[in-house]
Structure 1
Amino acid sequence: MDRYSDWLLLGMIFGTGGKRLWQVMEKTDDPAEMCERILSGKADFLSDSEKEKAERVSADEAERLIERAHELGQQVVCIGDENYPKRWYELEDAPALAFYRGDISIANDSTVIHTVGTREPSKYTLSLINVLCADFALRGFTVSCGLAEGSDTCAAETVLGREGRVLAVYPTSLDREYPKDVGELKDKLAEKGLLISEYSPEYGGRMNFHRRNKLAVALASAVVITEASEDSKGLDNAVRAMDTGRSVMVVPPHLLYSKRYFGQRDLLRKGCIPIFDGSDAVRVLAERQEISAERYGLKAGVSEVHTEEKQEKIRKPIRELSGVESKIYELLKEKSPMSLDEMTARSGLSMMEVLTCVTGLELEGIVISLPGKRYELDS
């Protein structure tokens, strides 16, 4: 057996995602030694149920499941490996072993924003997720989500559509169909991001969403709540984030007296930070000294004076613009600065189309954001 099989065997005996394993491992820091003691009957500290499990499992079965993971295109990482997610070391019940598809370095080498919504989001929330997550992706953040239907899949599709990175922690094994009918999305996510689970292939137990939330929040620098009712299970993510010192940002409610947004209302009352676009996330995380504002696209304020001389110096776009982008570019070339409302009225586009467009142009350095949510072309 190697250490991956050792850790898996111990997880099969003491349970996945619990503190019991680490209580037992206080007796030794060597998983191979612990496995040998258990399999040889020398572990007198086992409970009756643990003894029964130890009699049912075997080293061969642990090795077979590791092999099965590789057959399914999964990789394995265990605690102590160089590429093990470093933020999980903060947990007293950190996973000893994890199975993943994709780029494991994302968990350590990027700034992760964990988004939380609902399985039945409003049209307002869906449009907002499209704009906000596109902004996150274009700025270089990794977007984390639970990959459930509704808000999560919308966030994942939006980020992947912008060639961004998505991270998803699974509440069950990666080979299990969860959620239904998202096999193609999972494959795309594995190509551009990271799918990770502490459950081995063929796991048949109940899905553990509370545990999933705990692991996902631990990997993130901030949690963003896009929609939550007063009794939303997604609020568990916000509680865990506040308990561990992560920033919690909340999209302001669309309708103040609609119960579907009462979770957001209550979080804002508790002092959580309202978020309107990606620059708010940059500002908050930069103030906490977790990121460099410049790296994530937040520009300093610039003069609002737009002279004829500056008009002549406006640089041409570095690439061919789309139809919508060209329309906004020509409007700003004709008159700058211009507010979102004015661009919306003059272009005939929707507010969301304009906001998405100018956000992308701003991140590419074609457009500059000014105080008061006004925009002009960069020179």
Structure 2
Amino acid sequence: MWLQQALGAGSSKPVRILSNYGSVKDFYLAGKESWLLEGYFTRKEIYKLSSYSAADAQLLVSYCEDIGQNIITPESEEYPGQLTQIPNPPCALYVKGELPDFGSCLSVSIVGTRKATEAGKTAARSFAFGLAKQGVIVVSGGALGIDTAAHSGALQAGGKTVCVLGCGIDANYLMANAPLREAIAAKGALLSEYPPSTQAMGSNFPIRNRIISGLSAGTLVVEAAAKSGSLITADCALDQGKDVFAVPSGIYNPVGKGVNSLIKSGAKPVSSVNDILEEYTEQYPGKFNLDDTQINVIIKGSNTETAPAPEASLEGLSDDAKRLFPFMTDEPEHVSKLCKLSGLRIAQALSAVTELEIAGKVKSYPGSRYSI
């Protein structure tokens, strides 16, 4: 934590430090004169290394404990092993919730534009649902559009999802998605390289993206404009030696140029969950059921086909969905109000409305509002 506070998120220098000193403790004890002799620290970094003490770091640890955040470092048992393999692994990670076991499960990140089309959101949600049903950890960034759809689909499937933020976990960022983040923390984890209260800045997100791809065996891009930030995540995946998948898009779709460009450059085009899973059957023998057609979304052109439209009944839906649905009206209501009316917890309600939306029973609106 002391090292991260001094050098900042995304720095590659900790790897060099560990190579030269063996441990962060030995580097800390070496002192300022030794740091200056290294020759690769800026004046600002030397100042921060000198002024930020181990006692300051301990105060931050105590504060995080008070607000329900865990801190893990590369020495922690919970630290995802995949991140130790990337060029600039985070010195410290802040976690709310419980990180799934990345060592024993396949993980796939799903990213894309914030300005997604309905077809794009349906595709992201369906892929996430299908992957989560097969025990795959779904990783994304918590933004509007494709990210939100991916997290929601994984939650609806009862699976694990991890949201990697480009700000402090407690920051006032995209408050319309605050209920979704609460649901993710309850069923998976919120993760950030940035300490509490760090506000979202445009420069944070490209740095954050290497963690999204680093946690994942492959990255799926669903709708991205020609200069989308999602392409940065895809580039990070390629630099890390990871797989890149892309959902083909219509040539007239303004948020489809990026994914089509990825395919031209060698990304694997996918139209079903199986197209992704088949790449990992040898690495995870017997783990996936590729014959489960119920979760195998098929996409043709710009339209997404899922299971046939459900009957008017709620047959086949979860008890939570059945409990929530009677309180839905044709006027969009915020999910917090639906919680009060139904008595469901926020995580249960979000999972229920996502399930109902996939079943074609309800519509979603900006700001976590829903109607029939």
- TM-score, normalised by the number of residues in structure 1: 0.72
1:189-243 per-position Cα deviation (integer Å, ceiling 9, x unaligned): 1111121122222335845111211111011011111101122121112222223
User: Post-superposition shift, 1:147?
Assistant: 0.5
Counterparts in 2 of 1:231 and 1:14: CA distance versus 1, 3 Å? closer
1: distance between equivalents of 2:292 and 2:178?
42
Pairing 1:231–2:222 present: no
Counterparts in 2 of 1:322 and 1:163: CA distance versus 1, 3 Å? farther
Contact 2:263 2:269 in 1 (8 A): yes
Structure-1 residue corresponding to 2:173? 178
Superposed, which structure 2 residues align to 1:250-265 within 5 Å? 250-253=246-249, 255-265=250-260
Q: Kindly provide the amino acid, as one letter, of the partner of residue 232 in structure 1.
A: S
Moved more, 68-77 or 46-55: 46-55
Structure-2 residue corresponding to 1:10? 3
Q: Kindly provide the amino acid, as one letter, of the partner of residue 137 in structure 1.
A: A
Pairing 1:280–2:293 present: no
Contact 2:166 2:200 in 1 (8 A): no
Counterparts in 2 of 1:132 and 1:256: CA distance versus 1, 3 Å? same
Aligned-residue Cα RMSD (Å) equals 2.6
Q: Unaligned regions of 5+ residues in structure 1, if any? A: 1-7, 302-320, 327-352, 358-379
Pairing 1:23–2:19 present: no
Pairing 1:79–2:74 present: yes
Rg: which structure is higher?
A: 1
Structure-1 residue corresponding to 2:363? none
Q: Kindly provide the amino acid, as one letter, of the partner of residue 284 in structure 1.
A: E
2: distance between equivalents of 1:136 and 1:70?
33
- TM-score, normalised by the number of residues in structure 2: 0.73
1:3-62 per-position Cα deviation (integer Å, ceiling 9, x unaligned): xxxxx11222222320223323333123223223337x6543354323322343222221
1: distance between equivalents of 2:189 and 2:60?
21
Structure-2 residue corresponding to 1:139? 134
1:60-118 per-position Cα deviation (integer Å, ceiling 9, x unaligned): 22111111111111111111222211011112321122111122243333211100111
Of 208, 229, 241, 2:237 maps to 241
Contact 2:36 2:46 in 1 (8 A): no
Of 209, 215, 235, 1:213 maps to 209
Of 31, 54, 65, 1:38 maps to 31
Counterparts in 2 of 1:247 and 1:43: CA distance versus 1, 3 Å? closer
Of 297, 302, 306, 2:289 maps to 297
SS of the counterpart of 2:175? coil
SS of the counterpart of 1:44? helix
2: distance between equivalents of 1:157 and 1:240?
24
Pairing 1:62–2:54 present: no
Q: Unaligned regions of 5+ residues in structure 2, if any? A: 294-310, 317-354, 360-372
Contact 1:106 1:193 in 2 (8 A): no
Percent identity (aligned): 23
Structure-2 residue corresponding to 1:336? none
